[in-house]
A = this chain, B = another copy of it.
């Protein structure tokens, strides 16, 4: 069994109103590639937020008293902290050099996922308003124009508890279930599996991150071809929620 990952060259710097599916199709054409059944298209969230005009002008923000306090504690800019608070449902932890929140969308991550890389000076991109819907729109257009069954995952890079370093994670998912429930399947010795739920969309996002990089690679779209569980996980109505652990079940928040 083998899987191929490749980055799309020639995706331009995206601006508000750009159609990401069009950009992907054009880049594929220039690369002499066409999409195939089961291809998974991973799109960096910055691309999505910028195309949706979801960009924060930090200079325009008036920090609240809360933001000023948290800015002092976290040694972050108070305007950025106000933006973080506005994107959050709850502030989970504040420490020197970090603010961890639960975003409006339910992601627990640093800085509400607000990113100051790969966007113009004085600007920042929050996570997409509804990355599932963004993924769905891209997938539906790509499927319509190619006639193939595909999946689209909107990706971010986030830190973790207990381990150092950021990894690629999925923010939105369309076309396949993000969680592979394998309960009842057997191991090599015929015993029932213990690890029965695999966060497949996060593993796909982590894989894509090896190519997307974090710097000036300019490869924000990656295609994963040959993932053998595509048909098993196919779901036209999927979204990211199976990967989000509700607060009441999260031992590290209670």
Which A residues are closer than 8 A to B by beta carbons?
Answer: 1-7, 13, 93, 95, 98, 100, 107-109, 115-121, 157, 160-169, 178-180, 182, 185-189, 191, 193-200, 202-204, 206-207, 209-211, 214-219, 227, 229, 242-245, 250-253
Contacts of A169 on B, CB cut-off 8 Å?
163
Q: How far apart are A227's CB and chain B's nearest CB, in angstroms?
A: 6
Tell me how many chains of this kind the complex includes: 2
B1 contacts A211, C-beta separation under 8 Å: yes
Bound together, the chains give a CA A241 to CA B206 distance in angstroms of 20
Verify A191–B245 contact, CB threshold 8 A.
no
- Determine if B3 and A182 form an interchain contact, defined as CB atoms under 8 angstroms apart: no
Smallest Cβ distance from A202 to chain B, in angstroms? 5
Task: Name the residue of chain B whose CB is nearest to the CB of A123.
Answer: B189
Contact B250 A161 (CB under 8 A): yes
| Chain B residues in 8 Å Cβ range of A215 | 182, 185-187, 193
A-B contact pairs, 7 of them (CB 8 A): A1-B211, A2-B4, A4-B4, A93-B251, A163-B245, A165-B199, A193-B214
